[in-house]
Amino acid sequence: MEKNGFYSMRTSALRKLKTTMSKIETKNLDLFYGSFHALLDINLEVEEKMITALIGPSGCGKSTLLRALNRMNDLIEGVRITGEVCVDGKNIYEHGTDLIGLRKKVGMVFQRPNPFPLSIFDNIAYGPRIHGIKNRGELEGIVQKALSDVMLWDVLKDKLDRFALNLSIEQQQRLCIARLSAITPEIVLMDEPCSALDPMATQRIEELMFELKKNYTIVIVTHNMQQAARVSDKTGFMLLGKLVEYGDTKQVFTTPHEKQTEEYITGRYG
Amino acid sequence: MKPQTKQKIAFTCLGLAAVVVIIPVIVIFVILIDKGISAINWQFLSTMPRMGMRAGGIYPAIMGTVYLVSGTILVALPLGVLAAIYLVEYAKRNWWTRMIEIAIVNLAGVPSVVYGLFGMGFFVIFFKFGASILAGSLTLAIMILPVIITASKEALMSVPHSFREASLALGVSKWQTIRCVVLPNALPGILTGTILGISRAAGETAPILFTVAAFYLPRLPKSIFDQCMALPYHLYVLSTQVPNVKESLQYGTALVLVGMIFLLNLVAIIIRSHMRSKKQW
Ligand SMILES: Nc1ncnc2c1ncn2[C@@H]1O[C@H](COP(=O)(O)OP(=O)(O)O)[C@@H](O)[C@H]1O
Ligand SMILES: [Mg+2]
């Protein structure tokens, strides 16, 4: 009796310890597009205020896994998911999950920059406005902070009413990150955020990610191995819907445990 | 035959086809203006018909058409846009949705006189609205619903998926995303389609024949339960039912009707070109 009580106390303490350690945890996550089995038994732990990279050949399910973390796959008809994704210890696929709250907390940056066809100001103010902030002064403060976060404030402070789609691609992507930071998420999911950018712009976005890491937990999908090696603390290697290997970036790139990982990072899959 | 010769022949044929298309338009306008312009003056546009429609103006017919068109927009625009939003944003791809889409396509092919008979049976008799602006507007609205739904669907579908994703990923609900991102970007397309539908409604005779149009009613309607005159029906009456009408009166009426429709279409064209110059995705 007493032993049992002690045991359960210990496990709950353990569980607590664990949830404070990992911001996101997937448990036996399987995903089907219709009859196509796109994710197989994924168990991934993402730690707070770190950059976690997902690498793997195109079509292996990186985007699918990323989109499972804020339930963006719900938009696609015929998707079926089993298993759990816990954010801060709470399963987001549980019935009755507040999707709006979830996505405010777990934001997403897409492969192609997708600003709205509005002014720079209105792009950033879009989220805060819908979430109830009407006061102009307050919005101005938010816009300034968000643009400063992505190091665009000095460049754009006099051009806030310009049309956002006239910015360079790099600035558009930064704007999208700023738009997200304006609603102060805790986790930022990035799906190949640099694939539309040139090498210099890519480097600057990577520097930005180091800055963002101080405040956000970042999960980035990339098919660029060098990028993963440069920016991330943890790396997961995926192949055909499976998470083949997951560990510290250094370890994955220097002493991979799995043969397939080694083959991939030495360039045998291309 | 040499390929170049073949090409030349093909180009000539295509060019001729294009000319054949615009000839009737030009001829219609020239004849209408030639024979009708003399009838048109302020008095013609602003006074009641007199002497059994053989003299005086066409004011009640113009106003009747304006009322009918307004009523039609009021009913058809919200209904059509809501239906399109449902079909594009919410409906699952299943047999029920297919059924609705097939019904819309078929509605678009129903002859206008059938709408007229339907309107009489359904609105005038069954709902006891009588021959009235209400019954006429509802009938016209149902007739142009397929046009508005189809145009709105296309406008909604042309809004890039990435805008929706961006909005949803910011924790914005689906309905707010539709209201704040999708609809504003689809609006020009929706309006263009609506105006084209409306301009069709403005010119139709058959749907209003049994549901609202008055043969000769030299005063304005007082409520939506009154009958009214309307330009297309007035033109039909002048041309076939009243003996000894001055030709210029008939052509003048036709010119006013065609002019109104032309103006509506012009607005649609302006909106569309404006939208094209602004659209950058
Ligand atoms: N909407 C979808 N419907 C059906 N299959 C899909 C869909 N999206 C992706 N897939 C399939 O799932 C697999 C993983 O896709 P994805 O996650 O986009 O890969 P990655 O991002 O690693 O390139 C691919 O085989 C792809 O064809
Ligand atoms: Mg991808």
* CATH of residue B266: 1.10.3720.10
pLDDT of B172: 93
A267 or A10: which leads in pLDDT: A267
Q: Tell me the per-residue pLDDT of A132-152, one tens digit each, with 9 for 90 and over.
A: 888 999 999 999 999 988 888
- Which amino acid is it at A239? L
Which pLDDT tens digit goes with each residue over A111-123?
A: 999 999 999 999 9
Under the banding of pLDDT at 50, 70 and 90, the label for residue A79 is: very high
Lowest mean pLDDT among A17-21, A255-259, B18-22, B233-237: A17-21
Q: Are B140 and A78 in contact (CB under 8 A)?
A: no
Measured by CA distance, the residue closest to atom 9 of ligand 1 is: A64
pLDDT of A151 reads 87
Report pLDDT digits (tens) over A128-137. Answer: 999 988 899 9
State the pLDDT confidence band at A19, using cuts at 50, 70 and 90.
very low
- State the burial class of residue A251 (Cβ atoms within 10 Å of its Cβ: 0-12, 13-18, 19+): middle
Q: Which tokens go with A39?
A: 């994710």
| Chain A CB contacts of B185 below 8 Å | 117
Tell me what the pLDDT averaged over chain A comes to.
Answer: 87
pLDDT of residue A3: 46
Q: Which fold is adopted by the domain A21-265?
A: Rossmann fold (3.40.50)
Label residue A21 by pLDDT band (50, 70, 90). low
The DSSP bridge partners found for residue A85 are A26
Is residue B2 in some structural domain? no
What is the percent of chain B with per-residue pLDDT over 90, rounded to a whole number?
69
Atom of ligand 1 nearest to the CA of A61: 17
Residue A222 near residue A228, CB atoms below 8 Å = yes
State whether residue B194 sits within 8 Å of chain A by CB: no
Q: Which of B170, B276, B277, B278 to mutate to test the interface with A (most CBs of A within 10 A)?
A: B170
Q: Return the pLDDT at B186.
A: 93
Report CA torsion sign: B146, B149, B152, B153. negative
* Residue range of the domain that includes B189: 40-277
**Domain contains B8:** no
User: What pLDDT is recorded for position A1?
Assistant: 42
- Stretches where chain B sits below pLDDT 70 are 278-281
CA distances (Å), origin B179, targets A72, A163, B276: 19, 20, 21
Which pLDDT score, from 0 to 100, does residue B83 have? 95
d(CA A104, CA B168): 9
pLDDT for position B278: 67
In a domain, B15, yes or no: no
Range with the poorest average pLDDT among A13-27, A99-113, A137-151: A13-27
Structure tokens at B270: 């302006």
Whether B24 is in a domain gets the answer no
Query: Who lines ligand 1 at CB under 6 A?
Result: A 33, 36, 38, 56, 58-64, 76
Interface residue B280 vs chain A (CB under 8 A): yes
Convert B203-228 to b/e letters by CB count within 10 Å (16 or more is b): bbbbbbbbbbbbeebeeebeebebbb
Mean pLDDT of A169-174: 91
Q: Count of CB contacts below 8 A, A vs B?
A: 70
Express each pLDDT in B182-216 by its tens digit: 999 999 899 988 988 999 999 999 999 999 988 88
Q: What is the pLDDT, as a whole number, of residue B15?
A: 92
Query: What is the value of pTM for the model shown?
Result: 0.84
- Domain edges within chain A: 21-265
Q: A179 and B170: CB-CB below 8 Å? A: yes
What does the pLDDT look like over B233-242, one tens digit per residue? 999 999 998 8
DSSP string for residues in B207-258:
HHHTTTB-SS--S--SSTTS-B--HHHHHHHHHHTSTT--HHHHHHHHHHHH
Collect all residues of chain A within an 8 Å Cβ-Cβ radius of residue B181. Answer: 116
Cα A189 from Cα A105, distance rounded (Å):
11
Domain count, chain B: 1
Mean pLDDT across chain B: 91
